[in-house]
Amino acid sequence: MKPTLIIALFTSVAASAAFAEGDVGDSTAGKRAFSQCQACHVVVDGEGNTLAGRRSRTGPNLFGIIGMQAGTVEDFRYSTDLVEAGEQGLTWDEETFVAYSLDPVKFLRAFLDDRRARGKMTFKVRKSEDAVNLYAFIKSVSPPVAPDLEDN
């Protein structure tokens, strides 16, 4: 077997193992992985400090979204599909965040049971490991949420 193939196999096994165990992601790696999101998102806290990203507001500010109802960041014009999902009970925890990041369109279609649903985010994270780490990063900078979500 070629060394590159072995490395690729090992990486994907490690990534799925970390995900399966619900392992806590690595927030430092997650901050680095935010480079994939910053074309559209920022993480800006309540005092206006930019914790990640630059200035793009194509997508909502992801600060404090953990535990939050989907589609409810103030002043962002969401798709009706994402707002609808939030109204039907979609909140962001590790499982929903990771699944959404890996394939937002597919996720919304499944959640809404509507194969024409789309949403406005089409970007997909390719590695589940990155999605898990991104979750850890966003959670690490978020204010504490409801106690029952604290261990997520």
Q: What residues make contact with ligand HEC under the rule CB under 6 A?
A: 36-37, 39-41, 58-60, 65, 70-71, 73, 78-79, 81-82, 92, 97, 100-101, 119-121, 123, 125, 134
Q: How far is the CB of 130 from ligand HEC (least distance, A)?
A: 7
The answer to whether 69 and 91 are in contact (CB under 8 A) is yes
**Least distance from C-beta 60 to ligand HEC, angstroms?**
4
CB distance 104 to 124 below 8 Å: yes
Nearer to ligand HEC, 123 or 147 (CB): 123
Please check whether residue 21 is in contact with residue 1, taking contact to mean a CB–CB distance below 8 angstroms.
Answer: no
Nearer to ligand HEC, 22 or 101 (CB): 101
Tokens of 121: 């985010």
Q: What are phi and psi of 36, to 5 degrees?
A: -75, -20
**Closer CB to ligand HEC, 12 or 56, in the complex:** 56
Number of residue whose CB is nearest ligand HEC: 37
Residues 19 and 51: their CA atoms lie apart, in Å, by 25
Residue placing its CB nearer to ligand HEC in the complex, 80 or 147: 80
What distance in Å separates the CA atoms of residue 62 and residue 66, rounded to the nearest whole number?
9
CB of 28 to ligand HEC, least distance (A): 16
d(CA 152, CA 148): 8
Please report how close the Cβ of residue 69 comes to ligand HEC at its closest, in angstroms. Answer: 8
